[in-house]
Amino acid sequence: MTPDAAAPAGDGAPTQLQWLRRQLRELGARPAHEHRVLRLWSQALPQDSGRRRLEDFMPARLRSALPQITATLASLARLHSRHPSQDGGERLLLNLFDGQTVESVLLPRGGLCVSSQVGCAVGCGFCMTGQGGLLRQLGSAEIVAQVALARTLRPVHKVVFMGMGEPAHNLDNVFDAIELLGTAGNVGHKNLVFSTVGDRRAFERLAQGVVRPALALSLHSVSAERRAALLPRAPRIDPAELLELGEVYARATGYPVQVQWALLDGVNDGPDEIDGLVRLLRGKYAVLNLIPYNNVDGLPFRRPPAERSAQMARTLHQRGVLTKLRQSAAQDVEGGCGQLRARHAAGAPLYWAPRTQPVAGSAA
Ligand code: SF4
């Protein structure tokens, strides 16, 4: 088993995790063995851990292949560098087996934000990842590998799909990873957060899932025109319809929909947006997360003054919208999604170097 063999699947081909399961079965694994290998990997535990000796219950062929399987899985995502933040979060830059890089973010209080694609096709004007387009999909094992790697650094109880990429554009791999994380990976279903700009295929898939994650919708504007300008290649779903679809799923699962709003100075922080949010969200099973924008060099958007953001949150709350004013985690270290990767890819100096911990053996 080699990393090349575990390359992300194309349309119709088995996902990486399906391929891995097939390999395990060919080595003689029964379902309990397969579950054990995936459980220990996704929970960052050694394959020989546990009280029972492997030779007492595991087929010899599978046992002898375990070192190679372990090496292959470890090669799916390797730590390039760590970038701790003052808020307790930490950005991780990861090398994939083919030399591509992605970011994960360790969040305070046991969360992890994972990437689902290298790059992104949605092209949000305020996002560094969106500027370079989509380079490739992440395979389902590469998504789980981000969790396995993070768990070697600290416990992870919650996984949010809010890193690089649009999860709805990589549904097979994302849902394959969610299913593993919500079973063998021991992450509570409501602690898996599927985030999307909105795509009807994603709602169909959410309704069918064995593991039903919580849902986050990246809204950013209640105006269809403004939203289309900010998120130029997001599916054209009217904001009212999008929130209605989210409401149906939230009621079905019992987890409120999380409405994400990157707060952009002079763009989506005015009275028209506040009125629209009250109209669309009051009485809904939803939480609105206002996230003041983290300025990105070269992009024309700015973070609103702190008092205006706080006032907007207060006003919405007073008018019946459950609103939280949040800061994105680890934002003092290239806080916008994709900034760390972009700087690395451009070969630019990492100006946060004093807080950076290069990993032994990395190219940093
Ligand atoms: S904000 Fe998300 S959906 Fe938009 S371009 Fe960036 S990664 Fe893609």
Cα 57 to ligand 1 centre (Å): 46
Dig out the tokens for 320 from the structure: 């019946």
Q: Which residue matches tokens 């090496």?
A: 71
Looking at the CA of residue 130, tell me the nearest atom of ligand 1: 5
Kindly state if the Cβ of 336 falls inside 6 Å of ligand 1.
no
Q: Is 363 exposed, middle or buried (0-12, 13-18, 19+ CB in 10 A)?
A: exposed
Please tell me the distance from the alpha carbon of residue 42 to that of residue 141, in angstroms, as a whole number. Answer: 9
Q: Could you tell me if 184 and 136 are in contact, meaning their C-beta atoms sit under 8 angstroms apart?
A: no
Sequence letter at residue 230 = L
Q: Which residues are catalytic?
A: 103, 337
Q: Could you tell me if 342 and 128 are in contact, meaning their C-beta atoms sit under 8 angstroms apart?
A: yes
Band (pLDDT 50/70/90 cuts) for residue 340 is low
Cα 162 to ligand 1 centre (Å): 9
Looking at the CA of residue 127, tell me the nearest atom of ligand 1: 6
Q: 73-130 pLDDT, tens per residue? A: 999 999 999 999 888 899 999 999 999 999 999 998 999 999 999 999 999 999 988 8
Please tell me the distance from the alpha carbon of residue 273 to that of residue 34, in angstroms, as a whole number. Answer: 50
Residue 207, pLDDT above cutoff 70: yes
Residue bearing the CA closest to ligand 1, atom 4: 124
Q: 35-66 pLDDT, tens per residue? A: 999 999 999 999 999 888 999 999 999 999 99
Cα 121 to ligand 1 centre (Å): 8
Please tell me the distance from the alpha carbon of residue 211 to that of residue 144, in angstroms, as a whole number. Answer: 15
- DSSP for 128-179, please give it: HHHHS-EEEEPPHHHHHHHHHHHHTTS---EEEE-SSS-GGGGHHHHHHHHH
Looking at the CA of residue 123, tell me the nearest atom of ligand 1: 5
Q: Could you tell me if 8 and 173 are in contact, meaning their C-beta atoms sit under 8 angstroms apart?
A: yes
For residue 17, CA distances in Å to 40, 173, 254 come to 14, 9, 29
